[in-house]
Amino acid sequence: MSDNPHYVTPEEAENKLCPIKNKDWNGKYCCIGKECMAWRWTDEGRKWVKTEDGEGYRKSTERTHGYCGMVPQ
């Protein structure tokens, strides 16, 4: 979907290693994705939806991809 290799879904982020060494309950370093203060949402994957009045279109508020704010873009 994206040309930027840093953009991932929150579910994909959980399988990444955390650059700031965040550990899970088992002591494994892991990314907690959208729960992390460094998580940044992108507009990647947002769809156009009809406005409430049906007269036009706007970007949906649902965001599907983000990236780690600690990783240089």
H-type helices in the chain, by residue range? 10-13
Q: What is the pLDDT of residue 73?
A: 63
Q: Which residues span the domain enclosing 48?
A: 1-73
Question: What are the distances in angstroms from CA 12 to CA 37, 48, 50, 57, 68?
Answer: 17, 24, 29, 30, 12
Name the pTM for this structure: 0.58
Query: Into how many domains does the chain fold?
Result: 1
pLDDT digits (tens, 9 = 90+) for 33-51: 888 888 888 877 777 888 8
- Average confidence (pLDDT) over 61-70: 82
Nearest to 46 by CA among 58, 35, 38: 58
> In one letter, which amino acid is 58?
R
Cα–Cα distance for residue pair 40/73, rounded to 1 Å: 11
